[in-house]
Structure 1
Amino acid sequence: MESIEHLMGHTYETDLPARLDRLPWGRFHTLLVVALGITWLLDGLEVTLAGSVSGALKNSPVLHLSNSDIGLAGGAYLTGAVIGALFFGWLTDRLGRRKLFFITLFLYVSATAATAFSFNLWSFILFRFLTGTGIGGEYTAINSTIQEFTPARFRGWVDLTINGTFWLGAALGAGGSILLLDPQTVGGDLGWRLCFGIGAVLGLVILLMRLWVPESPRWLLIHNQPEQAQRIVEGIEARFRQQGHALSPPTVGSLCLHARDHTPLREVFETLFVSYRQRALVGLTLLSAQAFFYNAIFFTYALVLTDFYNVPFERIGWYVLPLALGNFCGPLLLGRLFDVVGRRVMISLTYAISGVLLAVSGYLFQQGVLSVTQQASAWMVIFFFASAAASSAYLTVAETFPLEIRALAIAVFYAFGTALGGIVGPTLFGHLIETHDRGNVFIGYLIGAGLMLAAAVVQALWGVAAERQSLEAVARPLSQAQEVGP
């Protein structure tokens, strides 16, 4: 049987999703992950730079930022990410994955380069806002594309590992800040400006890497372009055969789809908040908790080190490196368990462990018994688990909603989660640190720990066991007419 058979009008049968899921892991998937997944590295770079250069920004003869100003700039970055995710997420489902991951990356490159030329507080905040807008848009286009190409049995580990590359960006940002903020090399007002230039240069390289990435065949199928989708899948299969792989027939049945050019917003929100309201609650809870947990701590960790441990701002990067190592190793080493043990158990477990560890380390910080090295080590252990937890939140919202609204679903829950947890977090912690009272900072840590524990309970009760299932099995496409036998 042909993989696409027209039945009547714009309804057709296809087994292309099953053919993508049955592929072995190959060079195509590796290159796809590198070209697209590097978005997370860029975000890690941006967030780390915001923390690492905070001391330099406070001492800048041009900007003269206070702790509250730095918290405000962090909030502006996240506000931009929220708006970018919503706007570009809607466009990604409407116009296609490929167009949008070029547009959003170009916006990021332009805005982060402009940040290097900030001339006062408000220009800095504006450019950080635009940088966040680009990154937020990237998340929706990139996550949906990668999930739609990745075979089902690898999806959990791949998604978590990609999200973990955020911390390679963090390490890059830390290393760049160590070099460029050092008075013996560059330092001064020029040093922090050059730090933001790292992202712009890296982004230009990524633009070139993405030129070969095709449009998602799954997106093409529901937008009345089945012939183009078939050409792309046949081209991928031909590469595998040229590399010596023997491809087995699909083991699941075909789909019968009604073509559509777009999904009305009314249907989008009815699907998200009526048909899938339980999944929506889970996604919103997971993303909100991890957004507060991460952004509150990571946007302000440099202020904790400088204000409570008297670490010189030019040495902040050294303390980011072990933190980045723990964050990267968590998804890498724990990721396969999300496909083997299962989503419900592993997501709940990593959230709960992260919350308990933060509460314990926060208490020790409040008591003043931790040295700066011990504090950095505690953060490294906490975020080993928290990184896997946060990555699994993005995995959850990306794979548990129908194909037609996948990018916008990612955007909606990322936006709500970031708005509830991410924007409030850095601003709150900036004010708490400004008091120079360890007890006040401990209260912030307890809030973050409580949110993570609450998310663990919600996931344990209502989470979806999506491991090793096709995306169409986890969430039936809105345009699916009926099941068709193999």
Structure 2
Amino acid sequence: MVMQRADSSGSRNDTVGVKDEPTVQTRVPGRLDRLPWSRWHWRIVIGLGTVWILDGLEVTIVGNMASRLAEHGSGINITTAQVTTFAAAIYVAGACCGALFFGRMTDLHGRKKLFMITLAVYLSATALTSLSWTAWFFFVCRFFTGFGIGGEYAAINSAIDELIPARARGRVDLIINGSFWVGAAVGSLASIVLLNTAIFATDLGWRLAFAIGVVLGLVIVLVRRHVPESPRWLFTHGRAEEAERLVAEIEQEITDNTGVELEPVEESVTVRQRHSISFTEIARTVIREYPRRGILGLALFIGQAFLYNAVTFGYAVILTTFFKTPTGDTGYYFVVIAVGNFLGPLLLGRLFDTVGRKPMIAGTYILSGVLLFGTAFLFQRGVLDAVTMTACWTIVLFFASAGASSAYLTVSEIFPLETRALCIAFFYAVGTALGGITGPLLFNGLVSSGKTTDTTLAFCIGAGLMVAAGLVEAAIGVRAERRSLESIAQPLSAMAVPQTATGRQV
């Protein structure tokens, strides 16, 4: 690694008044990307990726518990509509706010510090939810639970993509984001037992449901303590020597575990070391240099956010309203849907690294939308029952899940390192605010009417947004497969400094 003083030549950032800050020429990105898969990578995946299980657990439990919470004797005076509509929107609004707040903090203060703080916020809020005695307290707790989860989205996706080798980044990111549905399946199975009044009292089962999330979260804390800070973040924030030491330790551990002799890396990147970058500079860079990528990110997030937030919060209502499914049985159907959702990223994820991002993202979005239009047609004709409706949704969401997971992957890859967490947060927040808040409100409003035509319209809106997002991806998507993050989007602090530049060796 070579350190030197910046001059005014060859820099994209000369106009922002940082000419006197030191630069660092580092091979850290290339060294991380060439690492063979090892137990160290599994530790990253387990420590960071399992948070999506918590999110899936949260959302599913609330959806399945809606009717029970509204029953007399639940210990809380609240209606089903308030749980499935208002509380759902409050949770998503909290997630949007948390993503924006913690996203900025993650870019400023590092990935590790923030993914520990956001998990603590989630644990505290979900524990308090189980103690709710009135509707307003339940809503407040749901907001702060979402606040913590939203922060996790920004901090975790940033860290994962910066630590996982480029050749496997697509499939790993998709599978991790798809693990949301493992939590959904657990939540569905748990709700079957917890809704059984022969086992748990009406005012106890739903409280224990939220306690499950606390227990899982505490386990994640233990694993996450051993996940390191992102070396990529370190070398751009004045901590280059720490980044070099950390990568050397990782290389040594992987060499000892795998017995693989690591090849030397020649490719390097030279950046100014800056402790912070202004929000104005970040916004200007994204708007001026990456407008097409901004449109792409919004399209992908709005489409998947509307579809998924509507379905996860409202499917139990569809089953009970149109097919007279007993409240205690909705969990069985949701388990099937959850399994299909997880199998999508699991089985299709590899293709996002081999066939490529554009054809796979566009294909999964468009195909899932077309299949949903078909489901809407069959539902309108009255030929579906609870089983066949669930089968149709499982097929739709098998493809939609892979596409939805790729939205997070896309915005994490296509913007500069210094803006990564905030960009994830921004597109998640805006996309979710437009699709994830309006989705449950509109979807549940239409479904709750009990009219087949209204529910068919809700299906068609979701299908149309997915198809539209797929067409945007086909037109302006970025081919990011097997490429380093720095080659997809050059860091804001990157400098065109010759490889032969002299300086202090460290």
Compute the TM-score of the two structures, normalised by the length of structure 1.
Answer: 0.97
SS state at 1:189 partner: coil
Cα distance, 1:406 vs. partner? 0.2
In 2, Cα distance between equivalents of 1:380 and 1:222:
44
Q: Choose from 349, 359, 363 the match for 1:345.
A: 359
Q: For 1:145-294, list aligned pairs within 5 A.
A: 145-243=159-257, 244-250=259-265, 253-294=267-308
Cα distance, 1:67 vs. partner? 2.0
1:299 aligned onto 2:313: yes
Query: Residue in 1 aligned with 2:453?
Result: 439
SS state at 1:481 partner: coil
Q: Choose from 32, 48, 52 the match for 1:36.
A: 48
In 2, Cα distance between equivalents of 1:384 and 1:364:
19
Query: Residue in 2 aligned with 1:12?
Result: 24
In 2, Cα distance between equivalents of 1:456 and 1:260:
37
Query: Residue in 1 aligned with 2:38?
Result: 26
Contact 2:62–2:83 (CA under 8 A) maintained in structure 1: no
Give the 3 Å change call, closer, same or farther, for CA 85–354 of structure 1 in structure 2: same
Cα distance, 1:485 vs. partner? 4.8
SS state at 1:482 partner: coil
Give the 3 Å change call, closer, same or farther, for CA 418–301 of structure 1 in structure 2: same
Q: Choose from 383, 396, 399 the match for 2:410.
A: 396
Structure 1 residue identity aligned to 2:47: A
SS state at 1:300 partner: helix
Cα distance, 1:68 vs. partner? 4.5
Q: Deviations over 1:396-449 (max 9, x none)?
A: 000000000100000000000000100000011121122110110111111111
Contact 2:66–2:80 (CA under 8 A) maintained in structure 1: no
Cα distance, 1:81 vs. partner? 0.3
Cα distance, 1:70 vs. partner? 2.4
1:377 aligned onto 2:374: no
In 1, Cα distance between equivalents of 2:362 and 2:81:
34
Q: Deviations over 1:247-276 (max 9, x none)?
A: 1122x5211110101110111111122211
SS state at 1:480 partner: coil
In 2, Cα distance between equivalents of 1:301 and 1:89:
31
Query: Residue in 1 aligned with 2:482?
Result: 468
Contact 1:55–1:314 (CA under 8 A) maintained in structure 2: no
In 1, Cα distance between equivalents of 2:341 and 2:222:
28
Structure 2 residue identity aligned to 1:48: T
SS state at 1:260 partner: coil
Q: Deviations over 1:285-321 (max 9, x none)?
A: 0001100011111110011111111111111111111
Q: Choose from 336, 342, 348 the match for 1:328.
A: 342
Query: Residue in 2 aligned with 1:102?
Result: 116
In 2, Cα distance between equivalents of 1:327 and 1:120:
34
Structure 1 residue identity aligned to 2:290: Y
% identical equivalent positions: 50
Query: Residue in 2 aligned with 1:48?
Result: 60
Structure 2 unaligned segments of length 5 or more: list them: 6-20, 501-506
In 1, Cα distance between equivalents of 2:498 and 2:103:
31
Query: Residue in 2 aligned with 1:115?
Result: 129
Give the 3 Å change call, closer, same or farther, for CA 212–484 of structure 1 in structure 2: farther
Cα distance, 1:34 vs. partner? 0.3
Structure 1 residue identity aligned to 2:2: E
Contact 2:231–2:247 (CA under 8 A) maintained in structure 1: yes
SS state at 1:256 partner: strand
Cα distance, 1:131 vs. partner? 0.4
Query: Residue in 1 aligned with 2:85?
Result: 71
In 2, Cα distance between equivalents of 1:75 and 1:82:
10
Aligned length: 482
1:58 aligned onto 2:55: no
Q: Deviations over 1:8-47 (max 9, x none)?
A: 2611210011000010111100111000001111111111
In 1, Cα distance between equivalents of 2:342 and 2:139:
29
Contact 2:66–2:83 (CA under 8 A) maintained in structure 1: no
Query: Residue in 1 aligned with 2:18?
Result: none
Q: Deviations over 1:324-370 (max 9, x none)?
A: 11000000100010000100100000000110111111121122210
Give the 3 Å change call, closer, same or farther, for CA 60–97 of structure 1 in structure 2: farther
Contact 1:350–1:385 (CA under 8 A) maintained in structure 2: yes
Cα distance, 1:7 vs. partner? 2.1
SS state at 1:311 partner: coil
Structure 1 unaligned segments of length 5 or more: list them: none
Contact 2:2–2:26 (CA under 8 A) maintained in structure 1: yes
Cα distance, 1:66 vs. partner? 3.0
Query: Residue in 1 aligned with 2:99?
Result: 85
Cα distance, 1:483 vs. partner? 5.9
Contact 1:89–1:137 (CA under 8 A) maintained in structure 2: yes
In 2, Cα distance between equivalents of 1:12 and 1:103:
30
Structure 2 residue identity aligned to 1:152: A
Cα distance, 1:451 vs. partner? 0.5
Query: Residue in 2 aligned with 1:387?
Result: 401
In 2, Cα distance between equivalents of 1:183 and 1:357:
38
Structure 1 residue identity aligned to 2:210: F
In 1, Cα distance between equivalents of 2:372 and 2:142:
28
In 2, Cα distance between equivalents of 1:60 and 1:145:
45
